[in-house]
Amino acid sequence: MKFYIKTFGCQMNERDSEKVQGILSNSGWSEALSPEEADLIVVNSCAVREKAEQKIYSEIGRIKNKNRKATVVAMGCVAQINPSKLKQVADVVVGTNTIDTFFNIAKNGARGVFIKENMDNPDYIFPHVENITAFVDIMYGCDNFCTYCIVPFTRGREISRKKESIIEEIKKLVDMGTKEVMLLGQNVNSYGKNFDYNFVELLYEVNKIEGLERIRFTTSHPKDFSKELIIAMRDLEKVCEHIHLPLQSGSNKILKLMRRRYTKEEYLEKVYLFKDIVKEGSITTDIIVGFPQETVEDFEETLRVVEEVKYDTSFSFKYSKRPYTKAKDMDGQVDEKEKLRRLNILQALQAEITQRRLNEYVGRVQEVLVEGVSKRGNQLFGRNRQNIVVNFDFMDNIKKGDIVRVEITKALKHSLLGKLSG
């Protein structure tokens, strides 16, 4: 029996798809190269913006045109909130808290709708697929209820996994050859609310794992991003010098309407503390333009913060009305065309800053973890500690998982080129 998985959405969905891949492979299934040759087709969905939500419906339609015989499973964030609508087009609907359903799908062809508000056992260790880098969930759900965001409704209440379970999972990964882990949570800085240890203590423990080379984490909510964490990033040699710190807006009026619970000033203070303490630190962010009541002046404040922080990269989006959220009913919704105009201005500014930041690396030697052969097949690629992709020429003695020193010779649009340095 063969399966095919198509994944939309964030790293949490990528990890969930990997769990499914692991469960099915361990049950004797093999992966199909295309949906046409699959017996089971899984579509893992994202609901964060309206456009993302539409994709699961168009994808299922497309798949059915190619392969009418396969069983279709709709899973992920859209499945969690719209199970009855999806049941009309899919044979099985699996929510975000019921991934264990796949054990039954593999074993006895379970069919139906499987949704739970929260996870039964967050400490259960799902299988991984062998890789140099790996995603590890450290917490599930979100309790922040930012007024634009659907995630608290698609992922349920925030719950942290016990550190023993996380450490055991990472040790297993290291035994499989993993060198780098990305610790995942919607707000990793609030990890451990239900325990007597916090995220920083978890980092100290993970840093001790022998054979593990690098530790990354995402996402850091600015309201909970602490000096203690910044110091840990300086002191723990495995923790990479990169933070993803979503700004969302540079206007205090909009931040308040978004219910982000920090001001622009507090945000910038943390950015400067990080830049001061963590040498060669890199910062990336998420920004929403055209939130209800955002004026041109509010938007320009966002542009000024972007210029000031000089993000390595930013992911920016037009505000999209989402069901269940507060912001969808707010006055002062912004016209679509105006949202697009603002998005274009912001993205042009970011492109310029990204180019400047990448150019700064030229002539410098970077530590690169080799992940494999580049897309074009003519070079090796990996990432530096700041999470920037670096391509360099093949060398016989270098293999996946090695850490090498690469002298940067050229900055491309989103990545770097280099040559091995002695």
Q: Site size for ligand SAH, by CB under 6 A?
A: 17
Q: Which of 90, 93, 132, 151 binds ligand F3S (CB under 6 A)?
A: 151
Binding residues among 131-170 for ligand SF4 as defined by CB under 6 A = 142, 144-146, 149, 151-152
- Pairwise CA distance, residues 142 & 396, whole Å: 46
To the nearest 10 degrees (0 to 180), the angle between helices 336-359 and 296-309 is: 10
CB of 49 to ligand F3S, least distance (A): 8
Q: Is 354 in the site for ligand SF4 (CB under 6 A)?
A: no
Binding characters for ligand SAH, 130-169, by CB under 6 A (x = yes): ------------------xx-x------------------
Provide the 10 A C-beta neighbour count for residue 107. 11
Q: Is 47 in the site for ligand SF4 (CB under 6 A)?
A: no
Partner from ligand F3S, ligand SAH, ligand SF4, none contacting 17, C-beta within 5 to 8 A by type: none
CB of 185 to ligand SAH, least distance (A): 8
Q: Name the residue type at position 383.
A: R
Q: Is 319 in the site for ligand SAH (CB under 6 A)?
A: yes
Q: Which ranges in 211-335 belong to alpha helices (H)?
A: 227-235, 252-258, 264-277, 296-309
Percentages (nearest 5) of helix, strand, coil residues in the chain: 35, 25, 40
Q: Is 119 in the site for ligand SAH (CB under 6 A)?
A: no
Q: Quick one: 155 or 221, whose CB is closer to ligand F3S?
A: 155
Q: Name the residue type at position 19.
A: K
Q: Is 270 in the site for ligand SF4 (CB under 6 A)?
A: no
Q: Which of 4, 13, 128, 198 binds ligand F3S (CB under 6 A)?
A: 13
Query: Is residue 157 classed as helix, strand or coil in its secondary structure?
Result: coil
Of all residues in the shown chain, the one whose CB is closest to ligand F3S is 9
Query: Is residue 209 classed as helix, strand or coil in its secondary structure?
Result: coil
- Pairwise CA distance, residues 313 & 287, whole Å: 11
Token output for 57:
């419906």
Q: Quick one: 41 or 288, whose CB is closer to ligand SAH?
A: 288
Q: Is 43 in the site for ligand F3S (CB under 6 A)?
A: no
Q: Is 5 in the site for ligand F3S (CB under 6 A)?
A: no
Q: Is 358 in the site for ligand F3S (CB under 6 A)?
A: no
Partner from ligand SF4, ligand F3S, ligand SAH, none contacting 12, C-beta within 5 to 8 A by type: ligand F3S
- What pairs with residue 185 in β-bridges? none
Tokens 């690098």 found at: 214
Q: Is 131 in the site for ligand F3S (CB under 6 A)?
A: no
Strands (E), 141-235: 159-160, 180-184, 214-218
Q: Quick one: 234 or 259, whose CB is closer to ligand SAH?
A: 259
Tokens 């690629």 found at: 381
Q: Which stretch binds ligand F3S (CB under 6 A): 4-12, 130-138, 191-199, 210-218?
A: 4-12
Q: Quick one: 166 or 288, whose CB is closer to ligand SAH?
A: 288
Binding residues among 174-203 for ligand SF4 as defined by CB under 6 A = 186-187
Q: Quick one: 31 or 286, whose CB is closer to ligand SF4?
A: 286
Given a contact cutoff of 8 angstroms between Cβ atoms, the answer to whether 162 and 196 are in contact is no
Q: Is the dihedral of CA 34, 35, 37, 42 positive or negative?
A: positive
134 Rama sector, left if φ>0, alpha if ψ -120 to 50, beta otherwise = beta
- Pairwise CA distance, residues 285 & 274, whole Å: 14
Contact positions vs ligand SF4 (CB under 6 A): 142, 144-146, 149, 151-152, 186-187, 221
